[in-house]
Amino acid sequence: MITLVLIFVMGLCVGLLGSMLGIGGGVLIIPLLTLLFGVDIKTAIGASIISVIATSSAAGAVYVGHGMTHTRLGMVLEIATTLGAVAGGITAVLLPARYLYGIFGLVLLYVVYSLRGLAGSEGGSQPTGLLDTSFIDPLTGGQVNYGVRRLKAGLAASFVAGNISGLLGIGGGIIKVPIMTLVMGMPFKAAIATSNFMIGVTAATSAVIYYGRGYILPDVAVPTALGVLAGAQIGPRLGGRARSGTLRLIFQVLLFAFAVQMLWKAIAR
Amino acid sequence: MESDRPLDPEEERPAAQPPPAAPSPTPRDPGACSLLEWADGSSSAARPPTDARRPSAPGLGPGLASLLPPDADDDEDVDGEAESGEVGRDTVRVAPRAGETAEAAGVDKAAAAGEVDEANEVDEANQAGAPRSAPRVSTVLGPLPATVRAGQTRDLNDVVHRILIIGLLLSTVLLLIGLLLDLLTGQALPAATLPPADAFQRVLELRPSGFLSLGLLVLLFTPVVRVIGSIVVFLWERDWLYFGVTVFVFMVMLLSVILGRV
């Protein structure tokens, strides 16, 4: 009962922080559940993947309603993400826990690195004749026309993102969004929305494996998911999105500490 | 589909639209509003201004408005909307109307160019007295790209949008019921999930473990249903390329369901 409430509060904090920083909760949920609550890492991955599906469905509904999601591109890339997710999900179920700790630690280090500045990296997007589409930018009210470049590179990155997602129970947007903006030439907002659109299907693909294999435990997954949902609802109301460097720096330090601890768990024993 | 189509448009609609299976969430339900609002803010570093731009309609998420049935007169609701949001949202909202009228008139949708559909759509919206500043097609869509016809994408978006919201609301409700029942009976939460059939059975017996497992399953299968919905839309539009793409994705998901059991 007390654990239940504590896990819910943990989810609440993750949802708060995640929505303020614009990042999925998985990178926080898994270290917190394993290091703080002593939950088995595969159970933590199962709880995280459930929360990822919930937040992705909720945010996805809003993005799609805005017309900001490139649904067709998303569906093409989902071919790669779901294949990656199946491979990742099966691997995670079979792999000894210490390897998962090790891989998670390394991915966390990458996330710390990539958090330096994602939003500033938008190049000039323009129609390319491949999957051209458009959306209305809510900030300027103007219309943005754009197409896609280097679809093959996008497919490859999507496979990796899906694989990491299935393996570690995180969304994988942190891998897809930079590729979609920098390599495929998509506008940042469209990339975020489209990446989020794919995350639901990708996460569900590996989640059914976790469910079938008994790694989704209601007493961990339900309070986590409900907490994250509630936290993400409150987050944006607390004085807007704190995008100041301070919050991001705290977040980076936190993730770095988690990365070191996870890597330690992989090496020690 | 051309010649023997029933004239009654109502009979045709389920194929193109998501079946209104679950009682579609009432648009003005405050719970639904807040649920959408947080979704609005989550996982996005890129969209800080949206909140600020909706000063006089704080309760109504823009995504929610497009949930309203196309015939609903929701003029009052959108008054406070920023101009751009209104344009984008209106186009989403009127999409089903175009399909309806085209079908009622017996027009073959595959033959009708997207642009023509679009024009009808705007006219219809004007006649119905809906948005005062119904946008001209050209201003909303610009030069229509060859690969993606905007009308199609909007039908697709509408389906996806509804499936996601219904699935999310349903699973949240089930999880909350399970949690409450569990706490009321003073039990600890179950430490294992149930296979779908058992979960159903226990929901009928009003046992919390059933609600919790079923809630998790509904959440988990919402994206699967979304893919099925997309398949139906592409089939309806005879877009064979994307029909193939989504069927492939669906097969991969089925594969993982099987792998989870083995």
Closest partner CB to A67 (pick from B46, B88, B216): B88
- Using CA atoms, how far apart are residues A203 and A92, in angstroms rounded to an integer? 13
Identify the pLDDT of residue A248.
Answer: 74
Tens digit of each residue's pLDDT (9 = 90 or more) over B128-175: 433 434 343 333 333 333 344 445 566 778 888 888 889 999 999 999
- Using CA atoms, how far apart are residues A219 and A214, in angstroms rounded to an integer? 13
B259 or B50: which carries more pLDDT confidence?
Answer: B259
- Asked if B30 reaches chain A (Cβ–Cβ under 8 Å), the answer is no
Contacts of B92 in chain A (CB under 8 A): 65, 67
**DSSP H or E segment with residue A242:** none
Identify the pLDDT of residue B243.
Answer: 93
Identify the pLDDT of residue B244.
Answer: 92
Query: Which among B24, B38, B87 is the top mutation candidate for probing chain A, defined by the most A β-carbons within 10 Å of its own β-carbon?
Result: B38
- Answer whether B203's CB lies under 8 Å from B211's CB: yes
Residue stretches of chain A with pLDDT short of 50: 120-121, 239-240
Mean pLDDT of B219-229: 92
- Using CA atoms, how far apart are residues A196 and A198, in angstroms rounded to an integer? 5
- Answer whether A24's CB lies under 8 Å from A202's CB: no
Place of tokens 């805005």: A66
Identify the pLDDT of residue B218.
Answer: 93
Q: At what angle do helices A188-212 and A71-94 cross, to 10 degrees?
A: 40
- Answer whether A194's CB lies under 8 Å from A180's CB: yes
**DSSP H or E segment with residue A104:** helix A97-114
Report whether pLDDT(B63) > 80. Answer: no
Closest partner CB to A71 (pick from B142, B160, B176): B160
Q: Do B148 and A89 touch (CB under 8 A)?
A: no
ipTM: 0.87
The number of beta carbons lying within 10 Å of the beta carbon of residue A199 is 32
- Using CA atoms, how far apart are residues A231 and B226, in angstroms rounded to an integer? 25
Instruction: Name the pLDDT band for B228 (thresholds 50, 70, 90).
Output: very high
Report whether pLDDT(B73) > 70. Answer: no
Instruction: Name the pLDDT band for B186 (thresholds 50, 70, 90).
Output: confident
Report which of B56, B83, B86, B68 is spatially closest to residue B32, judged by C-alpha positions: B68
- Using CA atoms, how far apart are residues B259 and B262, in angstroms rounded to an integer? 5
Q: How many CA atoms lie within 13 A of A107 on its CB side?
A: 25
- Answer whether A197's CB lies under 8 Å from A180's CB: no
Nearest-neighbour CA in chain B from A220: distance (Å): 8
The number of beta carbons lying within 10 Å of the beta carbon of residue A216 is 27
Distant-in-sequence, close-in-space partners of B26: CB < 8 Å, separation ≥ 6: B32
Mean pLDDT of B87-104: 38
Q: What are phi and psi of A134, to 5 degrees?
A: -155, 160
* B258: nearest CA partner in chain A: A209
Report whether pLDDT(B53) > 80. Answer: no
- Using CA atoms, how far apart are residues A253 and B43, in angstroms rounded to an integer? 20
Q: How many CA atoms lie within 13 A of B199 on its CB side?
A: 19
Identify the pLDDT of residue B176.
Answer: 92
Contact map slice: B 79-98 vs A, CB within 8 A: 82-85, 87-89, 91-92
Identify the pLDDT of residue B227.
Answer: 92
Q: Do B157 and A55 touch (CB under 8 A)?
A: no
Report which of A162, A167, A190 is spatially closest to residue A78, judged by C-alpha positions: A162
- Asked if B66 reaches chain A (Cβ–Cβ under 8 Å), the answer is yes
